Amino acid sequence: MSLDYTPQPGSVFAGIDLTHGIIRRNHAGRVNTVDRAMARRLDPHRRGEIDAYDYEVLLPRHAATAMRCPLTLVRTYEEQLLPDQQDLCGITTVRFAHDLPHHHAWELGRQFARASLNGRGLAVLMVHHVPSLAGRKHKPHLHLLWPVRVLVQEFGRFEMPTKAELIAGWQVIGMA
């Protein structure tokens, strides 16, 4: 699967396999949408159904509970996109060693998303892929996707943490 964003450059601390970037409306000659960006992580083999190992929407404290549904989150955000908005979603992918239990990776990811993204007012779609279950050699990983605008009752100001800020957050959670 070719990337729909450009990863932010920057050094990575030992033991943290993390990539990060912003999914923009236009990338490499293609038009991106929030719906397609999230769907390609939920259905990476494009079978027309969710086939990720696990997924969950994590909401900031003051968001409406209805936003826990990925479709509701995406539709509402797309309806509230600004006319010339180019930055659509942030994406951070964290890869784990093959021997780390999947449930432990999931919980580390949830803690990280809550502290580093929900704590900034961002809603997060967390998607867990375990390629070895399909006979692939890639590491298990979590994709964290979030609208780049703070969610209270509706989407407001922009909030786009940098790779360095997220690595610092992962050091606190992931190394605990």
Instruction: Say how many C-beta atoms besides its own lie within 10 A of residue 131's C-beta.
Output: 15
What tens-digit pLDDT sequence spans the chain (176 residues)?
A: 678 888 888 766 666 788 999 999 998 888 999 999 998 898 887 888 888 889 999 999 999 999 999 999 999 999 999 999 999 999 999 999 899 999 999 999 999 999 999 999 999 999 999 887 777 888 899 999 999 999 998 999 999 999 889 988 888 876 54
Residue 160's Cα: distance from chain center in Å?
Answer: 12
Instruction: Say how many C-beta atoms besides its own lie within 10 A of residue 122's C-beta.
Output: 26
Domain ranges of the chain: 15-174
Inter-CA distances, 43 with 39, 47, 59, 62, 70, Å: 6, 7, 22, 29, 13
Fold observed for domain 15-174:
BirA Bifunctional Protein; domain 2 (3.30.930)
Threshold 0.85, pTM exceeds: yes
User: In whole angstroms, what is the distance from residue 130 CA to residue 146 CA?
Assistant: 21
User: In whole angstroms, what is the distance from residue 100 CA to residue 104 CA?
Assistant: 7
User: In whole angstroms, what is the distance from residue 118 CA to residue 114 CA?
Assistant: 5
